[in-house]
Amino acid sequence: MSLPVQLLWLIPALPLLAAGIGSLTPRSGRGLASGAAIVAMAISFLLSCGALATALAQPAAHLVHNFAWFDLGGSAVRLGWLLDPLTAFMCVMVTFVGTLIFIFSTGYLHEDANFTRFFCFLSLFAAAMLGLLVANSLLLLFICWELVGLASYLLIGFWFHKPSAAAAAKKAFITTRIGDLGLLLGMLWLYDSTGSLLFYDGGQGVLEATALGGLVAQTTIGGLAVSTAIGLLIFCGAIGKSGQFPLHVWLPDAMEGPTPVSALIHAATMVAAGVFLVARVYPLMSADQGLAHVPVHALTVVAAIGAITALLGALIAVAQSDIKRVLAFSTVSQLGYMMLALGVGSWVAAIFHLLTHAFFKALLFLGSGSVIHAAHHEQDIRRLGGLRGPMRATFATFAIGMMALAGVPFLFSGFWSKEAILHAAHNWDVSHLPLYAGLAAVVLTAFYMTRLVAETFFGSPRSEEASHAHENSAVMTVPLILLAVCAVLLGFLGTPAYPWLQARLEGHTEVHGHPIFEGAGLLMLSIVLVAVGIGSGWALYGRRPRANANALDPIEGRLPGLFAVLRARFGFDELYAATVGRLNTAMAALSDGLDRYVWDAAVRFLAALGEFGGVVNREADEDVLNGGFDATNDRLRGTARSYSAAQTGGAHGYLRTVAVGFVLLVLIVMLGGGV
C-alpha cells in the first residue's frame, strides 16, 4: 500500500473531521466522539504507513504537491504537502502513539463530564500536529504550529475550573508565543528574502540550493549571515515549543492537564515539534557551516542551548516530587539532548532519539497516568509507594520505559539513540562541552528515574490512596504493553551495526553499518555512567525506602541548599516574574498613564481654551454686533410698512397690474429699438 503525495492531506483531515464531529456532539454522545476520534486516528495511522511506503520507495526524493492559497499581488501565497522519510516516520509515530493514547484516554477520562469535548480537542491537536508534519510551507507549518499551541492551551486548561490549570494554560500559550514571534519574524525575513515559503518547489524552494546560496551570501547586523539570523529566529520558535532553556518554564506547569494530554502533547509529539522544525529546515540551519568569518554558526547556538537544557532539566528533575513533573523535566532534558544532536550536526540521531523517546516517554506518562488513576489522582511520589504488587502490568511496563530512558544497554531503544547522539557530540569538532553535558545528564537521568521508580513502586504505600490502588482495566494496560514492546524494539532500527533508520532518513537506499564497538571507549563510558546513576539511585532510594510521606529526601538531608535550589527549579519562574512580568506591568501602566495624564490632559486643555474663546466671543456679540443690528432692523421695518399698502388683496387688481406691466414692457422693448 502506498499513498500518493496528493492525498497526503487526508492524514490531518481525518482527525480534523473527527474534531468537527466532536465539537457538534452533545455531552451525552461519548461513544460517537471518542469512536470518531479513534477511528479517524487509526485510519490516519494506516494512511501514514502508506505514506511511509511511498517515501521509502524513493527516500532521497522530496515529493511535493503545492497549490495557491490566495492571490497576492502578481503572484500568490502558496502552500503545499511534502512527503519524505522524515515526514513519513513522524506521521507514523504520531498516529500510532496517538491512537494508543486515545484509547487509553477513554479509560482515563471515563468519569469526566466533558468527555466529548476532550476528544474534540485531542482530535484537533492531532490534526494540527499532522498538518505540521506534512506541511511543505513554512507558513502552513506555522499555521499548524499555532493551532497545535491552541490545542495544547485548550487541553492544559481542560479542567478550567481549577485556577492553576487556567493559569498554566495561559502561561504555556504566552510563553510559546514569545518563541513563535521569533519564528514569525524569521518566516517574514525568509519570505522577504526569497519570495517563497515553500520548502521544496522544484528548485525554487527555500531549502534548495538557489535560495540558500542567496541567503548565505548576504550579511546582516553583527556580521551574521542572513541564513544564520533567519535560522536563529526560527530556532526561537523551537525553543518555545520544545521547552528549551530559557523558555522551558511552561512545560512543567503544563502537567496540570490530564495525563494522556501530557503523554501525547507534552512528551511524545508537540514538544518534539521544535526538534522536527529544526530538522525540517536543517539545510537552512546548516547553510552557514561553510562560512569561516561569521561570529557564530546557527547550529552552534542550537548545540549550546541543547546542552544547557539537557543538563538543567536533568538536574531539576532530581529534586521534584510530583511524578509528572519529574517526567516533565525529564522531557525537557531529553529534548535538550535532541537539540544537542541537531546542533552537533547529526539530525538523524536527533530524529532517531525523538522517535524512541516518543514511545518510551509516552509509555512513562501513560504509566504514571495509570498510577494516578489507580491512586485516585495522587501524584506525589512521597505519598505513593509499594505499587509494585497491586499493579503488575503497570509496574512492568513503567520499568521498561524507565530503563529505556535511562539508557540501559543493548536491549532498550533509548540506549541506541542516546549513543548515537553522544557519538555525534564526540565527533563534533567545535567543542566537547556538549559531550560533557550530555554525559553528565546520562548519570542524572539514570539517577532520577531510579529514584522515581523506587519511590513509586517499591517500599510500602504511604497514603490512603496508594494503599487502595489496584490495576486498571485492559483499555489502559493494553496500550501500555504495546508501547513497551515498541520501546524495546524500536532501538534495533538504528543500531550502529545496521543503521537502517538513519540511512533512510538521509535518503540512502542501502545501509552501511559498522561494528558496534567501533567507538568502544565512549560506549563503555556511557554504560558505566548509567550503571553509576542507577546504582546510586538505588542506593539512596531503593535499599531504604522512605518511611512516610513527610520524611526528608536523602539528598535534602545531605545537601539541603542544593536540593532547595533544584526543587525551586533554579528560580526561573520567580526571576521571570521579577523581570519580564514587572516590565510588562510597567509598560501597561505607562501606556495607560500616557492616555490618562498626557493625551487626555492635552485634549482637556484645548477644550478649555475653546470654551474661553466662546465666552469672549459672546460678550463681543451682545454689545457690538447685536446693538447695530437692532437699529438697522427698526429702520427697515418702518420702510416695509409703507410699501405694504400696495397689497389690496384683490386678485383682479394684481392680474391687471401684471398685464399692464407686460404691455408696457413689450412697448418699451419694441419702441426702444428692438431686442
Pick the closer one to another protein by CB: 574 or 592. 592
The sign of the torsion formed by the CA atoms of 414, 419, 425, 428 equals negative
How far apart CA 102 and CA 45 sit, in angstroms, is 13
Nearest to 298 by CA among 285, 316, 308: 285
Which residues ranging from 28 to 87 are in contact with another protein (CB under 8 A)? 68-75
Q: Under the criterion CB under 8 A, does residue 631 sit at the interface with another protein? A: no
Burial of residue 337 (CB within 10 Å: 0-12, 13-18, 19+) is buried
Per-residue cell: 341: 544532536
Q: Taking the mean position of all CA atoms in its chain, how far away is CA 3?
A: 28
Please choose, out of 163-171, 247-255, 378-386, 397-405, the segment that lies near another protein by the rule CB under 8 A. 163-171
Q: Which residues pair with 66 in a beta bridge?
A: 80
How far apart CA 367 and CA 390 sit, in angstroms, is 14
What residues contact 415, with CB distance under 8 A and at least 6 apart?
404, 407, 408, 409, 491
Residue 219, SS3 per DSSP? strand
Burial of residue 587 (CB within 10 Å: 0-12, 13-18, 19+) is exposed
Q: How many residues bind another protein (CB under 8 A)?
A: 69
Pick the closer one to another protein by CB: 620 or 658. 658
Q: Least distance from C-beta 69 to another protein, angstroms?
A: 7
How far apart CA 277 and CA 20 sit, in angstroms, is 27
Would you say 155 and 121 are in contact if contact means Cβ atoms under 8 Å apart?
yes
Q: Least distance from C-beta 221 to another protein, angstroms?
A: 10
Q: Under the criterion CB under 8 A, does residue 218 sit at the interface with another protein? A: no
Between the alpha carbon of residue 490 and those of residues 83, 362, 540, the distances in Å are 22, 14, 31
Please choose, out of 200-208, 393-401, 530-538, 586-594, the segment that lies near another protein by the rule CB under 8 A. 586-594
Q: Under the criterion CB under 8 A, does residue 637 sit at the interface with another protein? A: no
Q: Under the criterion CB under 8 A, does residue 621 sit at the interface with another protein? A: no
How far apart CA 442 and CA 530 sit, in angstroms, is 6
H or E stretch covering 274: helix 272-280
Q: Under the criterion CB under 8 A, does residue 582 sit at the interface with another protein? A: no
Q: Under the criterion CB under 8 A, does residue 111 sit at the interface with another protein? A: no
Pick the closer one to another protein by CB: 251 or 310. 251
Q: Dihedrals φ, ψ of 42, to 5°? A: -65, -45
H or E stretch covering 82: strand 75-83
Pick the closer one to another protein by CB: 184 or 198. 184
Among 293, 651, 672, 673, binds another protein (CB under 8 A): 651
Q: Under the criterion CB under 8 A, does residue 150 sit at the interface with another protein? A: yes
Please choose, out of 157-165, 330-338, 411-419, 514-522, the segment that lies near another protein by the rule CB under 8 A. 157-165
Q: Least distance from C-beta 155 to another protein, angstroms?
A: 14
Dihedral through CA 188, CA 189, CA 193, CA 196, nearest 10? -30
Pick the closer one to another protein by CB: 74 or 672. 74
- Is it true that the peptide bond before 499 is cis, omega within 30 degrees of 0? no
Among 139, 255, 344, 363, binds another protein (CB under 8 A): 139
Among 17, 32, 42, 178, binds another protein (CB under 8 A): 178
Side chain identity, residue 341: A
Among 598, 608, 616, 625, binds another protein (CB under 8 A): 598
How far apart CA 52 and CA 47 sit, in angstroms, is 8
Which residues ranging from 486 to 525 are in contact with another protein (CB under 8 A)? none
Residue carrying C-alpha cell 477644550 = 607
Q: Least distance from C-beta 320 to another protein, angstroms?
A: 26
Q: Under the criterion CB under 8 A, does residue 663 sit at the interface with another protein? A: yes
Q: Under the criterion CB under 8 A, does residue 402 sit at the interface with another protein? A: no
Among 81, 189, 337, 458, binds another protein (CB under 8 A): 189
Q: Least distance from C-beta 648 to another protein, angstroms?
A: 6
Q: Under the criterion CB under 8 A, does residue 624 sit at the interface with another protein? A: no
How far apart CA 182 and CA 201 sit, in angstroms, is 24
Please choose, out of 50-58, 267-275, 351-359, 660-668, the segment that lies near another protein by the rule CB under 8 A. 660-668
Q: Is 463 left (phi over 0), alpha (psi -120 to 50) or beta?
A: beta
Pick the closer one to another protein by CB: 568 or 603. 603
Q: Least distance from C-beta 533 to another protein, angstroms?
A: 40
How far apart CA 60 and CA 528 sit, in angstroms, is 38
Would you say 133 and 117 are in contact if contact means Cβ atoms under 8 Å apart?
no
Q: Least distance from C-beta 428 to another protein, angstroms?
A: 32
Please choose, out of 181-189, 310-318, 483-491, 617-625, the segment that lies near another protein by the rule CB under 8 A. 181-189
Binding mask 531-570 for another protein (x = CB under 8 A): ----------------------------------------
Q: Under the criterion CB under 8 A, does residue 432 sit at the interface with another protein? A: no
Per-residue cell: 623: 454689545
Measured from the Cβ of residue 563, the count of other Cβ atoms closer than 10 Å reads 18
Q: Under the criterion CB under 8 A, does residue 133 sit at the interface with another protein? A: no
Q: Under the criterion CB under 8 A, does residue 590 sit at the interface with another protein? A: yes
Pick the closer one to another protein by CB: 45 or 121. 121
Q: Under the criterion CB under 8 A, does residue 581 sit at the interface with another protein? A: no
Distance between terminal CA atoms of the chain? Answer: 103
How far apart CA 365 and CA 40 sit, in angstroms, is 23
Would you say 152 and 254 are in contact if contact means Cβ atoms under 8 Å apart?
yes
Pick the closer one to another protein by CB: 133 or 303. 133
Q: Under the criterion CB under 8 A, does residue 591 sit at the interface with another protein? A: yes
Residue carrying C-alpha cell 505519598 = 383
Pick the closer one to another protein by CB: 220 or 536. 220
Among 410, 436, 517, 599, binds another protein (CB under 8 A): 599
Would you say 80 and 137 are in contact if contact means Cβ atoms under 8 Å apart?
yes
Pick the closer one to another protein by CB: 631 or 659. 659
Q: Least distance from C-beta 599 to another protein, angstroms?
A: 4
Chain residues in the site for another protein (CB under 8 A): 23, 68-75, 117, 139, 142-147, 150, 157, 160-161, 163, 165-167, 169-170, 173-174, 177-178, 181, 184-185, 188-189, 191-192, 195, 584, 587-592, 594-595, 598-600, 603, 607, 644, 647-652, 655-656, 659-660, 662-663, 666-667, 670
